[in-house]
Amino acid sequence: MKLDVLDRLAQLGQFGLGHVQSLGRSGIFLFLAIFSRAGFTGRGALLIRQLYNVGVLSLIIVTVSGLFIGMVLGLQGYSILIRYGSEGAVGQLVALSLLRELGPVVTALLFAGRAGSALTAEIGLMKATEQLSSMEMMGVDPLKRVIAPRFWAGVISMPLLAAIFNLVGILGGVMVGVDWLGIYEGSFWSGMQQAVDFVDDVGNGMVKSLVFGIVVTWIAVFQGYDAIPTSEGISRATTRTVVYASLTVLGLDFILTAVMFSEL
Amino acid sequence: MRMRTLEISVGAFMLAGMLALVVLAVKVSGLSLKTGGETYELNAYFDNTGALKPRSRISMAGVTIGQVRSIELDKANYMARVVMDIDQQIDNIPIDSTASIVTAGLLGEQYISISIGGEEAFLRNGERFEDTQSALIIEELIGKFLLGTVNKNE
């Protein structure tokens, strides 16, 4: 009986140690990928290829969802605000909710599903087919050749994607609010411009999306690199990427919002 | 050749992202590059500024001529000191003009409205409005009505 309790305790300890270990491994991994920049010359082509995979190919899903989210916000905002006769405030509702929260968060979630899972699967398969170990045999550091360009591509793409998402979303709100429902265009834009501050709203949103870009790409490349090199292991790693990245984004968003907008 | 189309599409993507940011700055947040140096400062003291905020607009005859820069409490006389940035072109506000805090609509935001006085002399940079009218607090007004302290004969 006593042994049983101790066994349970040991299991708990193992569980905790395992998680702390993998956190530490991922930290070292990130550090090495970022700072092993010696001989980075000639890697520009690699970075551009990854920017294409991670950024350009995510463009369609980001644009389409941005458009629809902006349109829905316009429609919902209108149907509520018209009761108080202040439908001119739809512009600032759409702009503020997109710039502060929905833009960075939804883009990060889509990014995790679209680009993060692809990164994990690609790197995991490279590991399973022993491409990573053969690179090491040839004296090429896979962290430099494979991980670093993917990481940087994710970090660079994410704020750009979020900016595009915000803009398309606001245009969607304009489309529904002004062109369809007939809100007066002048009050729509001027209300928006008066409510939105460049540093507080646009700037903080961009900071958020940069942080989310770092976190999502970090999780994605680490999960791929750390995957068990079997088909089942890769599928688990891909799932983990999407789940961990989404949860981390939502949790971090709360913390960032609390820090940035707490005085409101 | 394949690499070239790749490079072009990545370049277009980055350009689109930066362009989106510029549009967000100019069109959505109303950031204009020529804000500094074209305004001058005027002060006003109010008993109560209500929901007036920095960047609230200042209007004359319904036209926006500037914005509130800061609102702070003056410890010496327990009044709120409002610093305003007025457009440099509007340099002929008579010194006996009134600055009043009014509300746009019933639920709208508050702004400062300036009614013109009759003096020949004009307010200069750093001077203050002698005549001010505080914000109308609807709760206080309702309270007064409920207690019957508003005199109907007046």
CA distance A25 to chain B (A): 32
**Chain A contact set for B7 (CB, 8 A):** 48
Nearest CA in chain B to A91: B28
3-state secondary structure of B92: coil
pLDDT given for residue B103 in this prediction: 82
Report the percentage of chain A scoring pLDDT > 70. Answer: 95
Contacts of A74 (CB under 8 A, 6+ apart): A90, A94, A172, A173, A174, A175, A176, A177, A181
pLDDT given for residue A128 in this prediction: 92
Asked if pLDDT for residue A24 goes beyond 60, the answer is yes
Instruction: Give me the residue from B6, B20, B55 closest to A49, CB to CB.
Output: B6
Instruction: Give me the residue from B10, B17, B31 closest to A52, CB to CB.
Output: B10
| Mean predicted confidence (pLDDT) in A144-159 | 90
**Chain A contact set for B9 (CB, 8 A):** 52, 56
Q: Are the CB atoms for B29 and A197 separated by under 8 Å? A: yes
pLDDT given for residue A69 in this prediction: 95
Q: Tell me: the pLDDT tens digits for A73-102?
A: 999 999 998 888 777 788 889 999 999 999
Report the percentage of chain A scoring pLDDT > 90. Answer: 58
What is the C-alpha separation between B106 and B92, in angstroms, rounded? 31
CA distance A179 to chain B (A): 17
Contact B55 A56 (CB under 8 A): no
pLDDT given for residue A116 in this prediction: 94
Averaged pLDDT of chain B: 82
Asked if pLDDT for residue A40 goes beyond 60, the answer is no
Averaged pLDDT of chain A: 89
Any idea which of A14-18, A120-124, B117-121, B136-140 has the lowest mean pLDDT? Answer: B136-140
Phi-psi bin for B132: left (phi > 0), alpha (psi -120 to 50), beta? beta
pLDDT given for residue B92 in this prediction: 86
Phi-psi bin for B42: left (phi > 0), alpha (psi -120 to 50), beta? beta
Report phi then psi at B103, rounded to 5.
Answer: -110, 135
Q: Tell me: the pLDDT tens digits for A98-114?
A: 999 999 999 999 999 99
List residues of B whose CB lies inside 8 A of any A CB. 3, 6-7, 9-10, 12-14, 16-18, 20-21, 23-25, 27-31, 55, 57, 105, 107-108
Q: Are the CB atoms for B86 and A63 separated by under 8 Å? A: no
Interface test with B, best of A58, A198, A263 (most B CBs within 10 A): A198
3-state secondary structure of A243: helix
Per-residue pLDDT of chain B (154 residues; tens, 9 = 90+): 577 888 888 888 989 999 998 888 888 777 665 455 578 888 899 888 887 877 788 888 888 888 888 888 988 888 899 998 888 888 888 888 888 888 876 667 788 888 888 888 888 888 888 888 888 777 778 888 888 765 655 5
pLDDT given for residue A64 in this prediction: 96
Residue A42: pLDDT band by 50, 70, 90 thresholds? low
Contact A99 B24 (CB under 8 A): yes
Contact B28 A164 (CB under 8 A): no
Q: Tell me: the pLDDT tens digits for A25-37?
A: 888 888 887 776 5
Interface test with A, best of B6, B7, B10, B64 (most A CBs within 10 A): B10
Q: Tell me: the pLDDT tens digits for B111-144?
A: 888 888 888 888 888 888 888 888 877 777 888 8
Contact B20 A196 (CB under 8 A): no
pLDDT given for residue A112 in this prediction: 95
**Chain B contact set for A51 (CB, 8 A):** 10, 13-14
Asked if pLDDT for residue A43 goes beyond 80, the answer is no
pLDDT given for residue A6 in this prediction: 87
Neighbour count for residue A32 (Cβ, 10 Å): 14
What is the C-alpha separation between A13 and A20, in angstroms, rounded? 11
Asked if pLDDT for residue A39 goes beyond 60, the answer is no
Q: Tell me: the pLDDT tens digits for A157-170?
A: 999 999 999 999 99
Q: Count of CB contacts below 8 A, A vs B? A: 79
Whether this model's ipTM surpasses 0.85 comes out as no
Q: Tell me: the pLDDT tens digits for A164-196?
A: 999 999 999 999 998 898 888 777 887 888 788
Q: In what order do the strands lie in the sheet with B63-74?
A: B128-129, B39-46, B79-87, B63-74, B57-60, B110-115, B98-103, B131-133
Asked if pLDDT for residue A126 goes beyond 90, the answer is yes
Residue A263: pLDDT band by 50, 70, 90 thresholds? low
pLDDT given for residue A257 in this prediction: 92
